[in-house]
């Protein structure tokens, strides 16, 4: 090659080509973009595969359709999905089955399996229930234990599978069988014939047209013949203005019955009786019915009503009673007055009538013609007491003979003795008796052990329980308090909320006041009787209390009043109808007019002249509480040797039960109670 073969190339300054020249390679740029996108998609797929987990679903039925809810990209192979970890919801459905919504969570495990069972939709059953000829209505249909309804009906929503079908009707025998329910919304039909189990019942009444009820279902009006299912049945007849009548019969299937004519009695009417003054005794048709105000149910007819009250004229009236009506009868009783002249009445003396201060003046008393307990009190003298009944036809003269305390003390073993406070104690003569109750006595308690007791010497027992007025002289700061709405601090009512120890200390204080030796001494921190011959005031022994309560004669009586329950009217202060909202157990129909404690001596004494051994307040006893059994005769027993509690005897104003009102009822304790007081006792020197 020669030099001429070479061409000299001269350099030029570089100059950038125009834009149009630069864009002349579009094919090359689209290729780059495609490669880039392909790599991105491939990389995303690799990342997705790396992050996803295989989640399989085994579904019954196997051909149910499945869908992942609210997910855009869910690769699937059969019933296996590739899903990232997280919470998902799947919907499965298939004709004849209930749709299923299932929430699940994809974890980091490589393979995960979920088992799903679709529930078949219930079936429907058309029931044809008859007696073989006619359809039966109002038969109860049960599936299992669930009442589904009454015929005629179609059973809907019955779960597929074996189900217990039961049919009940009062006129047919119960029917029961196990049925196979196809389900999946398919309709089945069952034809069932029930076996009769009824009889025809014929009934008539006088008057007629009474409604007839079998249990609570009305079946017709008398006279009528109707079907009734077999078994023990109650038929009730009801007619306006007449008392309903119930008949209990036994129905035997296919054995018809004709019942006897039923006579219906007219409804009772009410007689409402009021009187001025109230608490008058009311007799209707010669039968005592109670005290006014009074409401009495009576048969429709005319009645003679007799109203009486001590100190008033007797009233007689006629009352006509109509069914379902209240007849009101108001009676105003005319008072009867008598005159009592008190002879030899000292000017300084105070007169009491039924323990209430007489507000009149002089020695001439104009009083209602009813019994009174007259009491004349004079300082330094024994109270003069006498039962008087003013006579409207003549003036009575009462010679008031006052006796000084000193004169009384001079008598050997007097019938009564008195304390410096004016408390009277009555002599109780000795005797032998059974204390406690035998095992056969109704209402007996385990602690009422029967024992034979011999009391060998007379003793004195307080005629009344110690009052608030008396106790405050010993303990001025004492407060008997209140119980609910019952005021316990009345001066004349028994002192309560007193411990056994406080009662003993009162006895010693009263002994000091009256100048006699104390009965109690304190040893090792406990109060004891000095000895059995102590003459000071003390609490009665249990034997002394029980002997006095039995009135020293009727040793086997259950109640102090001698009869059974309830007690005689106005006998004592118990839980009566005035306290029905305060105490739980009251004596029905009994009214002593006191909700709480009554003034000591408000009710008649027993035959020995002692008040309130039954009712008012229970009483502390000297003895240590014991349930020891003994077969030997106890001579003047005083107390057990050891024990933490003291005996409490007698019923009280809170009690109204048979057991608590018995003479032998006993309790125990040491602490103060709102229904426990005490009375005093002593031997006479």
CATH number for the segment(s) 269-332 = 2.60.40.1120
d(CA 371, CA 529): 42
pLDDT value of residue 561: 86
Pick the CATH number of 198-263 from 2.60.40.1120, 2.30.30.40, 3.20.20.140, 3.40.50.300: 2.60.40.1120
What architecture is domain 123-193?
A: Sandwich (2.60)
> Beta strand pairing status for 372-377 and 384-388?
antiparallel
pLDDT in tens, 60-105: 887 887 888 766 667 777 778 778 888 888 888 888 788 888 888 8
H/E stretch holding 575? none
Q: Residue 365 has which token pair?
A: 């008393």
d(CA 498, CA 501): 8
d(CA 552, CA 260): 59
Q: What's the fold here for domain 52-117?
A: Immunoglobulin-like (2.60.40)
Decide if 52-117 and 337-410 have a common fold. Answer: yes
Closest CA to 510 of 256, 352, 668, 682: 682
pLDDT value of residue 427: 92
pLDDT in tens, 406-431: 666 556 678 899 999 999 999 998 88
Within 8 A by CB and 6+ apart from 657, the residues are 443, 585
C-alpha 100 chain-centroid distance: 54
Who has greater pLDDT, 502 or 7?
Answer: 502
User: Of 73-82, 325-334, 437-446, where does mean pLDDT reach its minimum?
Assistant: 73-82
d(CA 486, CA 643): 33
Q: Is the pLDDT of residue 432 over 60?
A: yes
Query: Under CATH, domain 337-410 is a member of which superfamily?
Result: Carboxypeptidase-like, regulatory domain (2.60.40.1120)
Within 8 A by CB and 6+ apart from 654, the residues are 575, 579, 583, 675
d(CA 118, CA 128): 32
What architecture is domain 467-685?
A: Alpha-Beta Complex (3.90)
d(CA 279, CA 273): 11
* 580 in Cβ contact with 588 (< 8 Å): no
C-alpha 433 chain-centroid distance: 40
Q: Residue 350 has which token pair?
A: 């105070």
| Residue burial 235-268, b: 16+ Cβ < 10 Å; e: rest | bbbebeebeebeeeeebeeeeeeeeeebebebbb
Query: Cβ–Cβ contacts within 10 Å for residue 134, how many?
Result: 7
Domain ranges (residues) in the chain: 52-117, 123-193, 198-263, 269-332, 337-410, 467-685
pLDDT value of residue 24: 46
| Residue burial 373-401, b: 16+ Cβ < 10 Å; e: rest | bbbbbbeebbbbeeebebeeeeeeebebe
pLDDT value of residue 262: 94
What mean pLDDT, rounded, does the chain reach?
87
Instruction: Choose the most confident range, by mean pLDDT, from 34-38, 537-541, 595-599.
Output: 537-541
Phi, psi of 26, deg, nearest 5: -65, -35
Angle (CA) 591-595-598 rounded to 5° is 90
């Amino acid at each position: 090659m020669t030099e001429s073969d070479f061409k000299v190339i001269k350099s030029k300054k570089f100059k950038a080509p125009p834009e149009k020249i630069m864009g002349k390679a579009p094919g090359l740029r689209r290729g780059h973009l495609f490669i880039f996108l392909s790599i991105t998609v491939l990389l995303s797929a690799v990342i997705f595969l790396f992050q996803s987990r295989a989640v399989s679903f085994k579904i019954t039925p196997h051909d149910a359709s499945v869908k992942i809810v609210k997910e855009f990209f869910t690769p699937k192979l059969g019933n296996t999905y590739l899903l990232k970890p997280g919470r998902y919801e799947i919907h499965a459905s298939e004709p004849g089955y209930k749709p299923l919504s299932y929430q699940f969570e994809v974890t980091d495990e490589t393979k995960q399996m979920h088992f799903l069972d679709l529930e078949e939709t219930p079936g429907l059953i058309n029931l044809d229930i008859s007696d073989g000829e006619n359809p039966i209505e109002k038969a109860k249909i049960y599936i299992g234990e669930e009442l589904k309804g009454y015929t005629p009906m179609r059973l809907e929503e019955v779960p597929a599978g074996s189900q217990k079908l039961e049919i009940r009707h009062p006129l047919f025998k119960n029917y029961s069988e196990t049925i196979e329910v196809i389900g999946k919304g398919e309709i089945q039909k069952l034809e069932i014939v029930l076996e009769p189990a009824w009889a025809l019942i014929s009934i008539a009444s006088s008057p007629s047209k009474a409604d007839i009820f079998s249990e609570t279902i009305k079946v017709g009006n008398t006279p009528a013949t109707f079907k009734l299912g077999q078994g023990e049945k109650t038929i009730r007849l009801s007619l306006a203005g007449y008392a309903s009548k119930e008949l209990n019969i036994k129905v035997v299937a296919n054995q018809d019955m004709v019942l006897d004519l039923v006579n219906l009695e007219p409804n009772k009417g009410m007689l409402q009786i009021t009187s001025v003054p109230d608490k008058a005794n009311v007799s209707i048709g010669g039968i005592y019915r109670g005290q006014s105000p009074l409401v009495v149910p009576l048969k429709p007819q005319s009645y003679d009503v007799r109203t009486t009250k001590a100190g008033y004229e007797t009233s007689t009236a006629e009352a006509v009673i109509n069914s379902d009506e209240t007849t009101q009868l108001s009676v105003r009783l005319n008072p009867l007055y008598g005159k009592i002249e008190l002879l030899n009445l000292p000017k300084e003396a105070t007169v009491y009538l039924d323990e209430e201060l007489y507000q009149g003046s002089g020695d001439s008393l104009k009083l209602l013609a009813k019994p009174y307990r007259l009491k004349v009190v004079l300082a330094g003298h024994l109270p003069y007491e006498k039962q008087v009944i003013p006579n409207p036809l003549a003036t009575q003269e009462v010679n008031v003979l006052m006796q000084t305390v000193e004169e009384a003390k001079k008598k050997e073993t007097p019938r009564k003795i008195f304390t410096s406070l004016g408390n009277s104690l009555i002599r109780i003569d000795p005797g032998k008796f059974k204390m406690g109750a035998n095992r056969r006595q109704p209402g007996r308690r385990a602690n009422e052990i029967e024992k034979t007791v011999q009391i060998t010497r007379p003793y004195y027992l307080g005629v009344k329980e110690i009052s608030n007025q008396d106790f405050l002289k010993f303990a001025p700061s004492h407060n008997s308090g209140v119980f609910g709405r019952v005021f316990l601090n009345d001066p004349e009512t028994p002192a309560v909320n007193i411990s056994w120890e406080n009662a003993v200390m009162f006895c010693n204080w009263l002994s000091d006041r009256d100048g006699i030796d104390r009965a109690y001494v304190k040893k090792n921190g406990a109060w004891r009787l000095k000895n059995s011959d102590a003459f000071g005031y003390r609490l009665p022994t249990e034997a002394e209390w029980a002997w006095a309560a039995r009135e020293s004669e009727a040793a086997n009586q259950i109640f102090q009043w001698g009869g059974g329950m309830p007690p005689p009217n106005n006998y004592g202060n118990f839980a009566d109808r005035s306290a029905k909202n305060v105490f739980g157990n009251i004596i029905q129909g009994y009214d002593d007019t006191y909700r709480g404690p009554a003034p000591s001596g408000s009710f008649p004494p027993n035959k020995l002249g002692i008040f309130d051994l039954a009712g008012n307040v229970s009483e502390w006893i000297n003895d240590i509480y014991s349930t020891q059994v003994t077969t030997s005769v106890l001579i003047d027993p005083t107390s057990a040797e050891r024990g933490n509690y003291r005996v409490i005897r007698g019923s009280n104003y809170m009690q109204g039960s048979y057991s608590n009102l018995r003479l032998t009822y006993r309790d125990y304790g040491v602490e103060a109670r709102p229904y426990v007081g005490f009375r005093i006792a002593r031997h006479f020197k």
